[in-house]
Amino acid sequence: MNKTDSFVNWFRSAAPYIHAFRDRTFVIAFGGEVVADGKFIALTHDLNLLQSLGVRLVLVHGARPQTEARLKQKGLKPRYVKGVRVTDSEALGCVIEAAATLGFEIEAQMSMGIANSPMAGSSIRIASGNFVMARPIGVVDGVDFQHTGLVRRVDAVGIRRRLDDQEIVLLPPLGYSLTGEVYNLTVEEVATATAIALSAEKLIFMTDTPGVLNALGETLSEMSAIEAEALLNKPEQLTEDVAFFLPCAVKACQQGVTKTHLISRHVDGALIQELFTREGIGTMVTRDMNDVLRAATADDIPGLVRLIEPLEADGVLVKRNRALLESEIHRFSVMLHEGQIIGCVALYPFTEEGSAELAALAINPGFRNIGRGDKLLKYIELQAKSMGIRRLFLLSTRTGQWFVERGFLETTIDQLPKKKQELYNYQRRSKVFVKQLA
């Protein structure tokens, strides 16, 4: 096959990916080393291509080498505890200076449009701002981390507005508090929290190594979040950077991100190879939705208790007597993932009035925000219809809005079946929601 045929065949094979990625959000994270090593210019070519194909891009950059250089210039020594910088006032000043300078340098390089280059004709606009709210880590094991923080909230609405205007959003490793303070954050946490908040299609980490390696030193091209989580229990098999990024990949996939990629920052065009070829070049971590829905049995009671106890303690669910739970187990359905109970829902029919109560809908926190609640709701609605039920109702103190968004309407207590009205707990003051089943 000659060079032209090879190119044509590759370009055609990339068409399905081009269609799939249009209007999707990618969060791409890279350390300050990418800019310091002069590799960002080549990366801008790939980012320009992705945006021209309709991909919505959020870039998250680190600034560690640039910060270290500033500390050294001032005769200051960096301090780390378990890989996390302890940021005193002088170090924070260096972080802010480094991040600001780096941000300008990134914007400058992405503004190039030199003729006869991959950037020719491009018109990239960069948006940055206070999109990340943070809080201090505080004192951990006797260590005061001072101005080192954790992500509290990401302004997903604000970021989406910028993306809707076809801008690339650039986020530094900094966050802001409601009292106007600035906190130093890790690039991996900012990227992960942002990808989750945006329900991004992809979270991509540019790493020092090619990805997750097997015992022979070969790159594992794909693994599920479950497999990745199991690998985290064998830290001796992980390189230093993978040990940082793989937990983030697992968390992101468990909380709504479709796929997370770990690719080498040292390979020119690695981003394009990973995204537009079947074999890729790094490691792709995928969320796994191979769930089983079935009627609950007595053997499921321990798993059910573990699932609902935290919600009962928090007041989200009414506390259920364990003996009563055992006698009513036939009312419950469970969702299992890899044999583990991760969700449940109960249905209590009031057949005389053609209605039924939906109760105890719960999903394990690690498996939320990716449609499992909707899956349980649809399952129980079908079950109710098969029983001749045409009206579902539920009582809720905190989660009513979620059900309203799915067709339930808030109503009054007198709309409940008579027997349920007699059992209504006026002290709890639950709101009543009803849905008519077609």
Whose CA is closest to 60, among 202, 161, 164, 178?
Answer: 202
> pLDDT tens digits for 243-294?
889 999 999 998 889 899 999 999 998 999 899 887 789 999 987 656 788 9
Last residue of a domain, one of 286, 310, 336: 286
Domain range for residue 158? 3-286
User: Which pLDDT value is given to residue 196?
Assistant: 95
Same domain as 80, residue 58: yes
> pLDDT tens digits for 339-368?
789 999 999 999 888 999 999 999 988 777
Last residue of a domain, one of 286, 320, 349: 286
Same domain as 304, residue 275: no
Coil, helix or strand at residue 292: strand
Angle between helices 64-73 and 89-109 (to 10 degrees): 130
Last residue of a domain, one of 286, 313, 339: 286
CATH number at 272 reads 3.40.1160.10
pLDDT tens by residue, the chain, 438 residues: 577 777 788 788 788 888 888 999 999 999 999 998 888 888 988 998 899 899 999 999 999 999 999 999 999 999 998 888 999 999 999 999 999 999 999 998 888 765 555 656 667 889 999 999 999 998 888 889 999 999 999 999 999 999 999 999 999 999 999 888 999 999 999 999 999 999 999 999 999 989 888 777 888 888 888 888 888 888 777 888 888 899 999 999 988 898 999 999 999 989 998 998 877 899 999 876 567 889 999 999 999 999 999 888 888 888 888 888 999 999 999 998 767 899 999 999 998 889 999 999 999 887 776 678 888 998 999 899 989 999 999 999 888 999 998 999 999 999 999 999 998 988 888 999 999 996
Same domain as 324, residue 191: no
Same domain as 402, residue 320: yes
**Structure tokens given for 411:** 């109503």
Number of domains in the chain: 2
User: Which pLDDT value is given to residue 103?
Assistant: 92
Same domain as 298, residue 280: no
Say if residues 204 and 26 touch (Cβ distance below 8 Å).
yes
Amino acid at the residue 66:
Q
Pairing type for strands 202-207 and 25-30 reads: parallel
Same domain as 377, residue 279: no
CATH number at 389 reads 3.40.630.30
Exposure string of 371-402, with b = 16+ CB inside 10 Å and e = fewer, is ebbebbbebbbebbeeeebebbbbbbeebbee
Same domain as 307, residue 342: yes
User: Which pLDDT value is given to residue 165?
Assistant: 93
Whole-prediction pTM: 0.65
Same domain as 383, residue 245: no
Same domain as 140, residue 43: yes
